[in-house]
Structure 1
Amino acid sequence: MLGKGIIELDILDYYKKLVDFLGEVLGENAEVVLRDCRKPDHDIIAIANGHVSGRTIGAPITDFTLSILANEEWKEKDYVVNYEGKAAPDKRLRSSTYFIREEGMLVGQLCVNIDMTPYEQVMESLRQLSGLGMMSEGVNAGIVCSGPVENFSEDVIGDMMKKAVISVVGSSEPKVRERLTQQEKIEIIGELNRAGLFQLKGAVGAVAEYLFCSEASVYRYQSKIQKKA
């Protein structure tokens, strides 16, 4: 029992204080994000230096967060560091995420996304000055990120569907999607399921429209996938 007049703070209230602090300590090239994983779409509830990815409070979930929820990686790790993030237009980020738990449940994520553009520009200048410019094709300014790639998009569902279709049939053009076989649709839905897309509200309807089939068909394909698992 709390004493009279004592207000119990939500666990994420403590982390909100860290967001602005870390944003100032790390500088304008470092975006700091606090995401509430208890909300339906895991909304951003605090952000510093949002110009790095162009996001604001309430911005949608990312494909990386969906995959974390789907494979429950947060149960085995306290954090994931130095994976690649991508923000428009063609901006590469070095990203890290800390998992916030309470009573064994994932309640939030504290994320740091560092814009690598200034460092890449410096490295490119050094390579040119040293005469190594033509020898470094395929090397990203000496900056290596390991692990998954996180995409900061305003249309997460659309981007994930496009990626899944391309991985299965090589193209996401409407004329290609109209001619998908049942087996190809099952494979595509299987990829979307593994990526955690169906945790999002409205995902089934969006997938049905994108694959030119009914919502009932999407559920039926999901059932077939589960039976094979």
Structure 2
Amino acid sequence: KSTNETAVAMAQEGAPEGTVIVAARQEGGHGRMQRVWNSPLGGLWFTVILRPQIDPQYAAQITLLAGVAVAKAVRRLYDTESVQIKWPNDLLLDGKKICGILSELQLDENGVIDYAVVGIGVNVALSAADFPAEVAATATSLNTSLHKDFTCEQVLVAIMEDFGILYDKWLLLGADVVMKEWQKLNCTVGKHVLVKDNDQVVFAGTVIDVDEEGAIIVRNEQGIVQSFNFGEISIR
């Protein structure tokens, strides 16, 4: 099972906001498009249950918020500025993936948010040999790359500290607090990208912004502007 699946079951049973489920390893971890997310020992795999009282149209901000919290915490703990956010849900260290985020939302019968679960996987202490061949070239771990020796627990504590502060501010003040930080920490705006849906390229152009609903805004060479709140990108 994955921590997200466990969190959904617990949220349905009424688990309070702020409940955190942590796994040493996962058998059923998955990312976007149901891809299997490799979750061996040495990584931090956890899910947070939230019950935000916000308009569901802004729910995508939760993924952006989580990305900001993880990036800030890791930068602070590891004393590095090399960690950046790639839209919509990855964190990169010098261009290689160190973290993936998967948020899931459940509305009640009135269309109000019942709960959100935010699954976060961080490559903390994996060695090069822990990565399967298909991701070895595109992924790395924090301790290996930055020559540090932090435990998963230390990274979790740092992330939850930043997450809690940012989440409270976000509920109080709205999107601005997250979007400003996200703009500073992202490596997506200004880049030429291919927008993909199920691995098919659907649009190519330069990212000019990310809007409040978490959608990416892309302008192509003909000057046509489109926004995408689905799919993923490869940065050229």
Same fold (TM over 0.5): no
- By percentage of residues, which structure has more helix? 1
Bigger CA radius of gyration: 1
- By percentage of residues, which structure has more strand? 2
User: TM-score w.r.t. structure 2 length?
Assistant: 0.33
